């Protein structure tokens, strides 16, 4: 009898050991260490956008575990030195309308950031700068040259009355450039003079040149930049200013200098 009781106690004790050593299998644990993919499609560099417009910032982003509202967007007017927020925690639908700031810049960029639920994120900026400027006037039409006195060239054109969006606009003036060849390269068109009317006289040119080509630009002098740039060349006619250099100086003035 005592032997039977001892065996029973040992059996129960052994069963307890088996219970303590039981185990189960959990679901697989996924450890995501891959950053989301992100591509900025606009503005990604070279665009000409205008103050007062609303333009779309567009992108493509994907990730297996992307957070639904994980897109953050900023803009910079200094080429990426400083950024200002456009929107935080917006949907990854690939598009966000942006009311452009009222500050002119030829060195603007946008930056985007997307995150996933494992803490991985990708952040990218525009590949190169784009411009945010005032809406420009339309190009002058009907440019003609009169050399009937065999001495001077009188360049005339039609008045510009609208901007590039066909809204009413009166230019602040016109810039006349010249070139001795018919090439359209901006580098070879040089500043001749400025007119507040609809004609400009290139004196004595017909006497010394067998041919000459002219380009007329209408402009709005929003910040006085045009006056600053042209003043030295108006005072000293021996100085040369090409169209490409004029545009480069205008960008530098409008951006407030390089940073």
pLDDT the model gives residue 18: 44
Give the domain 144-238 fold.
Answer: Immunoglobulin-like (2.60.40)
223 pLDDT exceeds 70? yes
pLDDT the model gives residue 110: 98
> What is the CATH number assigned to the segment(s) 37-133?
2.60.40.10
pLDDT the model gives residue 24: 58
Q: Say which range, 94-98, 136-140, 254-258, has the weakest mean pLDDT.
A: 254-258
pLDDT the model gives residue 26: 54
pLDDT band (50, 70, 90) for residue 242: very high
Strands 48-50 and 130-133: parallel
Q: Torsion-angle region of residue 36: left (phi > 0), alpha (psi -120 to 50) or beta?
A: beta
CB 82, CB 105: distance < 8 Å: no
4 pLDDT exceeds 50? no
32 pLDDT exceeds 90? no
CB 130, CB 53: distance < 8 Å: no
Q: What is the pLDDT of residues 181-207, one digit of tens each?
A: 877 778 789 999 999 999 999 999 998
pLDDT the model gives residue 170: 96
Please give the Cα distance from 246 to 100 (Å, whole number).
25
Q: What is the pLDDT of residues 157-173, one digit of tens each?
A: 999 999 999 999 999 99
pLDDT band (50, 70, 90) for residue 246: very high
* 37-133 and 144-238 share one fold: yes
Give the sign of the dihedral formed by CA 183, CA 188, CA 193, CA 195: positive
pLDDT the model gives residue 21: 52
Q: What is the largest CA-CA distance in the chain?
A: 144
CB 227, CB 221: distance < 8 Å: yes
Tell me the pLDDT of the chain averaged across its residues.
87
- How does DSSP assign 168-237, residue by residue? B---SEEEEEEESS----GGG-EEEEEESSSEEEETTHHHH-S--EEEEEEE--TTSHHHHHHHHHHH-T
Q: What is the pLDDT of residues 39-59, one digit of tens each?
A: 999 999 999 999 999 999 999
258 pLDDT exceeds 70? no
pLDDT the model gives residue 10: 39
pLDDT the model gives residue 252: 78
Domain locations along the chain: 37-133, 144-238
pTM over 0.85: no
By C-alpha distance, which of 126, 128, 121, 110 is closest to 61?
Answer: 121
pLDDT the model gives residue 22: 54
């Amino acid at each position: 009898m005592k032997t039977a009781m001892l065996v029973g106690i040992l059996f129960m004790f052994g069963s307890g050991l088996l219970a303590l050593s039981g185990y189960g299998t959990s679901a697989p644990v996924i450890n995501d260490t891959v950053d989301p993919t992100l591509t900025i499609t606009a503005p990604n560099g070279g665009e000409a956008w205008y103050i007062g417009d609303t333009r779309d910032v567009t992108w493509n982003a994907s990730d297996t575990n992307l957070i639904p509202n994980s897109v953050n967007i900023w803009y910079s007017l200094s080429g990426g030195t400083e950024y200002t927020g456009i929107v935080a925690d917006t949907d990854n639908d690939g598009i966000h309308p942006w009311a452009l700031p009222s500050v002119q810049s030829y060195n603007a960029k946008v930056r985007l950031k997307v995150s996933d639920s494992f803490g991985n994120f990708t952040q990218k900026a525009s590949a190169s700068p784009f411009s945010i400027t005032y809406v420009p006037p339309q190009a002058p039409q009907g440019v003609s040259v009169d050399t009937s006195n065999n001495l001077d060239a009188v360049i005339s054109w039609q008045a510009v009355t609208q901007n590039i969006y066909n809204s009413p606009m009166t230019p602040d003036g016109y810039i006349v450039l010249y070139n001795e060849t018919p090439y359209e390269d901006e580098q070879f068109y040089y500043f001749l003079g400025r007119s507040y009317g609809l004609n400009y006289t290139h004196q004595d040119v017909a006497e010394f040149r067998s041919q000459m080509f002219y380009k007329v630009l209408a402009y709005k002098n929003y910040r006085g930049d045009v006056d600053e740039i042209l003043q030295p060349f108006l005072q000293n006619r021996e100085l040369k200013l090409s169209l490409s250099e004029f545009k480069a100086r205008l960008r530098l003035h409008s951006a407030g200098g390089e940073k």
